[in-house]
Amino acid sequence: MNVPVYAAFHEWLGRGPQLQPMWDAWKAGDREAATKSVPDEVIDDLIVHGSPAEIREKLARYAANGVTTPAPAVLAGADDARRLLAEIAPGASAGT
């Protein structure tokens, strides 16, 4: 979010006040403070995370709003990724 064009995009979205502390820390060279200062609500807006049911529900909202090809990037080992993808697939039950 520190690349100028992406920072400008976030400002356009209205996130400037939320991200200013992160940008200031980054420009000062304090990468640790910059990382820690990204608000949870921004992370929640940008990253799909949570239980399989929560992930499935958020992806369903994307589809309901016009996303036709969701392509989640699962940060896990191969076996865990396969299990999670099965659990978040449309129609999967909460217990799988």
Q: Which residue has the higher pLDDT, 95 or 33?
A: 33
Asked if 92 contacts 86 with a C-beta cutoff of 8 angstroms, the reply is yes
1-47 per-position pLDDT tens digit:
999 999 999 999 999 999 999 999 999 999 999 999 999 999 998 89
Measured CA to CA, the distance from residue 80 to residue 1 in angstroms comes to 28
Distance CA 82, CA 78 (A): 6
pLDDT tens, position by position, 50-92: 999 999 999 999 999 999 988 888 888 999 999 999 998 877 7
Whole-prediction pTM value? 0.70
